[in-house]
Amino acid sequence: MLPYLRLGPFLLQLPGLALLIGVWIGLSLAEKEAKRINLRSDNIYNLVFYGLVSGLVGARLAYAARYASVYLENPLSLFALNANTLSIWEGLLVGLLVSTIYAQRKGMPLKLTLDALAPGLAVFMVFFGIGHLLSGDAFGAPTRLPWSVYLWNEYRHPSQVYEILAALGVFYLLWKQPPGERGSGSNFLWLIALSAAARLFLEAFRGDSLLWLGGLRAAQVISLGIMLAALWGMRSFQPKERSENQ
Amino acid sequence: MGVTAWVSDGRRWSGLILALAILGGAWTWMSRLPAVATTNGAPPPSPREGFSAPDFTLDLLGGGQVRLADLRGKVVMVNFWATWCPPCRAEMPAIEKIYRAYKDLGLEVLAVNTTDQDSESAAADFIEEFGLTFPVPLDRTGAVSASYILRGLPSTYFIDRKGVIRAVVVGGPMSEALIQSKVEELLKGD
């Protein structure tokens, strides 16, 4: 765990840096994949870029709306470089919405677009895991194994390492040997299904699981549902109706 | 890859999905937990929700000492701050207001100044300027910041009467409503 690095007066937030690098590499891979399946790569770039920027702005505005009185008194805090004053879910929603509108206006074919994004998203998941490793979040259940790590005053499963390895495996598969036909949209569904399967399996070794009734781990129940839905949806993506790119 | 063939064969694919549903369901069932494992009994000290707050003894601004463990039985809000940190400054008046309103009901506030990256005189001026009345421990060596693995200023820990951290807020400024809701929730507990 190494949450920050002190560089003179600057405090470098390493988990945030890992996410930034993940976005950067993911974006360049998405552009490459777009070229490979004959989609305009600048459209893919803009789609992601606008989504990210609007998502960030939306997340901050949503947070400010929740604490309106404080932000009205101190409107400059709207521009604070602080990830803790972001409302993640609202931001995600805004970003997705803006990306969708952009894609529609540019007439980007859905299945091609999703498949172009798949390897980039997969590599981002790897860096998401690295972020967890740096921050010590998403930590493992206490255990004594030869590969246990000492974290938060306990020997634990190195759950973040499991997460990174699983994400690397998914990425390798999607990049080198995509299970579906490139551009059919099914590789995106494979990414969803495989990531959900990995979470379903690995959540059992986590020490911070949110529990639902009966002690079921929420993430497992949700992942199971997502995995099955993605596999189910794959069938309808099978017919090879290749939408032509403009 | 034979994957495409599998997907196209409706029956085989449905069979596979069914098998995975059973397998995944079984795994989920097997890995369920009896209770919230980390918060049973006396959890080990760690600067996270559900763990005991790491103890410290520090000198106070203006003289005297404070030990966190001595405050067991009270609800304690530990706030790390520095004078050069705008959100820290911004949230101080709200903290003061809530401290005055709830201290007789069992709330203690420790506004730990990160003196290793600040100055004692600046802290004293600041406290005077804002008319703050809660105790201000001085972390001169940075040891307490380190044991709380501070990830940014301000960082605030809401600790229940048993000494267990119940909420962590990194960054600010915290709204009055946020502080108030956390404090009231903990004061209600035993």
pLDDT in tens, B7-66: 888 889 999 999 999 999 999 999 888 655 544 445 667 787 778 899 999 999 988 999
Judged against a pLDDT cut of 70, whether residue B170 lies above it is answered with yes
Stronger pLDDT, B10 or A54, i.e. the higher one: A54
**CATH code for the part of the protein at B38-188:** 3.40.30.10
Judged against a pLDDT cut of 70, whether residue A240 lies above it is answered with no
Residues 54-113 of B with CB under 8 A from A: 86-87, 90, 94
Q: Are A32 and A44 in contact (CB under 8 A)?
A: no
Q: What's the pLDDT tens digit per position in B64-103?
A: 999 999 999 999 999 999 998 888 888 899 899 989 989 9
Residue A105 burial (CB count, 10 A): 8
Residues 169-188 of B with CB under 8 A from A: 169-173, 175-178
Residue B37 burial (CB count, 10 A): 16
Q: Give the nearest partner residue to A154 out of B16, B44, B149, using CB atoms.
A: B44
Quote the pLDDT of residue B8: 80
Which band of pLDDT confidence, cut at 50, 70 and 90, is reported for residue A195? very high
Using the beta-carbon criterion (under 8 Å), do B48 and A228 form an inter-chain contact?
A: no
Q: What's the pLDDT tens digit per position in A74-118?
A: 676 677 665 656 778 999 999 999 999 999 999 999 999 999 999
A139: DSSP letter: P
Average of per-residue pLDDT across B91-118:
93
Q: Which residues pair with residue B78 across a beta bridge?
A: B110, B157
Chain A residues close to B31, C-beta within 8 Å: 203-204, 217, 220
Average of per-residue pLDDT across B152-160:
89
Quote the pLDDT of residue A244: 43
Taking CA atoms, A10 is separated from A36, B117, B131, in Å, by 41, 12, 30
Q: Give the nearest partner residue to A217 out of B32, B38, B152, using CB atoms.
A: B32
Quote the pLDDT of residue A208: 79
- How far apart are the CA of A106 and the nearest CA of chain B, in angstroms? 30
Whether B24 has its CB under 8 Å from any CB of chain A: the answer is yes
Using the beta-carbon criterion (under 8 Å), do A67 and B51 form an inter-chain contact?
A: no
Quote the pLDDT of residue A73: 63
Q: Following DSSP, what letter does each residue of B120-163 receive, concatenated?
A: HHHHHHHHHHHT--S--EE-SSSHHHHHTT--SSSEEEEE-TTS
Using the beta-carbon criterion (under 8 Å), do B33 and A217 form an inter-chain contact?
A: yes
Using the beta-carbon criterion (under 8 Å), do A70 and B44 form an inter-chain contact?
A: no
Q: Are A133 and A157 in contact (CB under 8 A)?
A: no
Judged against a pLDDT cut of 90, whether residue A43 lies above it is answered with yes
> Cα(B19)–Cα(A56) distance, rounded to whole angstroms?
40
Judged against a pLDDT cut of 90, whether residue B189 lies above it is answered with no
Helix (H) or strand (E) holding B169: strand B165-170
Q: Which two tokens stand for residue B124?
A: 């004293």
Taking CA atoms, A88 is separated from A55, A61, A103, A209, in Å, by 9, 11, 22, 19
Taking CA atoms, B190 is separated from B71, B73, B75, B166, B187, in Å, by 14, 8, 10, 13, 7
- How far apart are the CA of A152 and the nearest CA of chain B, in angstroms? 6
Quote the pLDDT of residue B39: 40
What is the reported pTM?
A: 0.75
If you average pLDDT over every residue of chain A, what do you get? Answer: 87
Name the closest residue on chain A to residue B37, using Cα atoms.
Answer: A207
What residue type is assigned to position B121 of the chain? Answer: S
